[in-house]
Amino acid sequence: PPQSGSRGELRWRRRDSNRSRSRGRGLSLTIDEGRQAFHHGPYWRCYYSNTDAVIYVVDSCDRDRIGISKSELVAMLEEEELRKAILVVFANKQDMEQAMTPSEMANSLGLPALKDRKWQIFKTSATKGTGLDEAMEWLVETLKSRQ
Protein backbone atom coordinates (compact mmCIF):
# COMPACT_ATOMS: atom_id res chain seq x y z
CA PRO A 1 0.00 0.00 0.00
CA PRO A 2 1.31 3.47 -0.82
CA GLN A 3 2.28 5.50 2.24
CA SER A 4 3.87 8.88 2.78
CA GLY A 5 7.54 8.33 3.38
CA SER A 6 9.87 10.38 5.51
CA ARG A 7 12.62 9.91 2.93
CA GLY A 8 10.31 10.64 -0.01
CA GLU A 9 10.78 7.44 -1.94
CA LEU A 10 8.82 4.95 -3.96
CA ARG A 11 9.56 1.41 -2.92
CA TRP A 12 8.58 -1.77 -4.73
CA ARG A 13 8.82 -4.94 -2.68
CA ARG A 14 7.86 -8.31 -4.06
CA ARG A 15 6.88 -10.71 -1.30
CA ASP A 16 8.12 -13.73 -3.25
CA SER A 17 11.61 -12.35 -3.79
CA ASN A 18 11.83 -9.66 -1.08
CA ARG A 19 13.47 -7.27 -3.57
CA SER A 20 12.87 -3.54 -3.33
CA ARG A 21 13.55 -0.54 -5.54
CA SER A 22 13.32 3.12 -4.53
CA ARG A 23 12.67 6.41 -6.32
CA GLY A 24 12.16 9.85 -4.82
CA ARG A 25 8.68 11.24 -5.55
CA GLY A 26 7.47 12.48 -2.19
CA LEU A 27 5.72 9.17 -1.51
CA SER A 28 6.63 5.74 -0.26
CA LEU A 29 5.08 2.91 -2.24
CA THR A 30 5.14 -0.70 -1.16
CA ILE A 31 3.77 -3.28 -3.54
CA ASP A 32 2.83 -6.77 -2.42
CA GLU A 33 2.42 -8.97 -5.46
CA GLY A 34 -0.14 -11.74 -5.46
CA ARG A 35 -1.15 -14.30 -8.01
CA GLN A 36 -4.60 -15.86 -7.94
CA ALA A 37 -5.37 -13.84 -4.85
CA PHE A 38 -8.95 -15.00 -4.60
CA HIS A 39 -8.03 -18.64 -4.42
CA HIS A 40 -6.40 -17.57 -1.15
CA GLY A 41 -8.87 -14.81 -0.26
CA PRO A 42 -8.59 -14.91 3.54
CA TYR A 43 -4.80 -14.77 3.29
CA TRP A 44 -4.73 -11.73 1.00
CA ARG A 45 -7.30 -9.75 2.97
CA CYS A 46 -4.65 -9.06 5.61
CA TYR A 47 -2.96 -6.77 3.04
CA TYR A 48 -6.06 -4.64 2.39
CA SER A 49 -5.82 -2.49 5.50
CA ASN A 50 -4.53 1.04 4.77
CA THR A 51 -4.37 0.36 1.03
CA ASP A 52 -4.61 3.56 -0.99
CA ALA A 53 -4.38 1.98 -4.45
CA VAL A 54 -4.74 -1.34 -6.22
CA ILE A 55 -2.72 -2.14 -9.32
CA TYR A 56 -4.52 -4.91 -11.17
CA VAL A 57 -2.57 -6.61 -13.97
CA VAL A 58 -4.61 -8.34 -16.67
CA ASP A 59 -3.41 -10.44 -19.60
CA SER A 60 -4.96 -8.59 -22.53
CA CYS A 61 -4.51 -11.63 -24.77
CA ASP A 62 -6.54 -13.98 -22.56
CA ARG A 63 -10.09 -13.50 -23.82
CA ASP A 64 -11.16 -16.83 -22.32
CA ARG A 65 -10.51 -15.74 -18.73
CA ILE A 66 -11.43 -12.06 -18.83
CA GLY A 67 -14.76 -12.96 -17.17
CA ILE A 68 -12.94 -14.66 -14.30
CA SER A 69 -10.68 -11.65 -13.97
CA LYS A 70 -13.73 -9.39 -13.81
CA SER A 71 -15.31 -11.54 -11.08
CA GLU A 72 -12.12 -11.46 -9.02
CA LEU A 73 -11.74 -7.71 -9.46
CA VAL A 74 -15.35 -7.02 -8.48
CA ALA A 75 -15.05 -9.26 -5.40
CA MET A 76 -11.86 -7.51 -4.33
CA LEU A 77 -13.27 -4.01 -4.84
CA GLU A 78 -16.34 -4.89 -2.76
CA GLU A 79 -14.13 -5.34 0.31
CA GLU A 80 -14.81 -2.55 2.80
CA GLU A 81 -11.10 -1.86 3.34
CA LEU A 82 -10.64 -1.17 -0.40
CA ARG A 83 -13.72 1.06 -0.73
CA LYS A 84 -11.67 4.23 -1.28
CA ALA A 85 -8.70 2.66 -3.07
CA ILE A 86 -7.68 4.04 -6.45
CA LEU A 87 -7.68 1.40 -9.18
CA VAL A 88 -4.93 1.18 -11.80
CA VAL A 89 -5.35 -1.55 -14.42
CA PHE A 90 -2.36 -2.69 -16.44
CA ALA A 91 -3.68 -4.01 -19.77
CA ASN A 92 -0.59 -6.17 -20.14
CA LYS A 93 0.89 -7.79 -23.26
CA GLN A 94 -0.09 -4.88 -25.47
CA ASP A 95 2.92 -5.72 -27.62
CA MET A 96 1.09 -8.84 -28.82
CA GLU A 97 -0.97 -8.73 -32.01
CA GLN A 98 -4.00 -10.48 -30.48
CA ALA A 99 -4.22 -8.15 -27.47
CA MET A 100 -7.58 -6.61 -26.59
CA THR A 101 -7.59 -2.83 -26.69
CA PRO A 102 -7.67 -1.00 -23.35
CA SER A 103 -11.20 0.17 -24.18
CA GLU A 104 -12.34 -3.40 -24.85
CA MET A 105 -10.72 -4.55 -21.62
CA ALA A 106 -12.26 -1.72 -19.60
CA ASN A 107 -15.71 -2.69 -20.84
CA SER A 108 -15.09 -6.40 -20.27
CA LEU A 109 -13.97 -5.70 -16.70
CA GLY A 110 -16.93 -3.40 -16.04
CA LEU A 111 -14.75 -0.38 -15.27
CA PRO A 112 -17.18 2.24 -16.66
CA ALA A 113 -19.68 1.12 -13.98
CA LEU A 114 -17.27 2.18 -11.21
CA LYS A 115 -18.88 5.54 -10.51
CA ASP A 116 -17.50 6.20 -7.01
CA ARG A 117 -13.92 5.14 -7.64
CA LYS A 118 -11.00 6.83 -9.37
CA TRP A 119 -9.61 4.41 -11.97
CA GLN A 120 -7.46 4.35 -15.08
CA ILE A 121 -6.37 1.64 -17.50
CA PHE A 122 -2.94 1.66 -19.15
CA LYS A 123 -1.47 -0.16 -22.13
CA THR A 124 1.53 -2.06 -20.79
CA SER A 125 4.08 -4.65 -21.76
CA ALA A 126 5.93 -6.06 -18.78
CA THR A 127 8.55 -7.71 -20.97
CA LYS A 128 9.35 -4.45 -22.77
CA GLY A 129 8.67 -2.16 -19.82
CA THR A 130 6.32 0.05 -21.82
CA GLY A 131 3.49 1.92 -20.16
CA LEU A 132 4.71 1.28 -16.63
CA ASP A 133 6.26 4.71 -16.03
CA GLU A 134 3.17 6.47 -17.37
CA ALA A 135 0.92 4.41 -15.12
CA MET A 136 3.05 5.00 -12.04
CA GLU A 137 3.25 8.73 -12.76
CA TRP A 138 -0.55 8.89 -12.98
CA LEU A 139 -0.87 6.96 -9.73
CA VAL A 140 1.63 9.15 -7.88
CA GLU A 141 -0.08 12.36 -9.06
CA THR A 142 -3.51 10.98 -8.16
CA LEU A 143 -2.32 9.98 -4.69
CA LYS A 144 -0.70 13.37 -4.14
CA SER A 145 -3.92 15.15 -5.11
CA ARG A 146 -5.71 13.27 -2.30
CA GLN A 147 -3.33 14.46 0.42
Question: Is 98 labeled as ligand-binding?
Answer: no
> Backbone dihedral region of 3: left (phi > 0), alpha (psi from -120 to 50 degrees) or beta?
beta
Active site residue 3: no
Q: Which residue among the candidates 36, 98, 120, 147 is catalytic per the annotation?
A: 36
**DSSP symbol at 9:** E
Question: Is 92 labeled as ligand-binding?
Answer: yes
Which of 65, 132, 63 is closest to 96 using CA atoms?
63
Which of 85, 147, 146, 79 is closest to 120 using CA atoms?
85
Of the chain, the end-to-end C-alpha distance in Å amounts to 15
Question: Is 115 labeled as ligand-binding?
Answer: no
Question: Is 94 labeled as ligand-binding?
Answer: yes
**DSSP symbol at 66:** H
Q: What CA–CA distances, in Å, run from 76 to 2, 42, 92?
A: 17, 11, 19
Provide the annotated active-site residues. Answer: 36
State the binding site for GTP.
92-95
State the binding site.
92-95
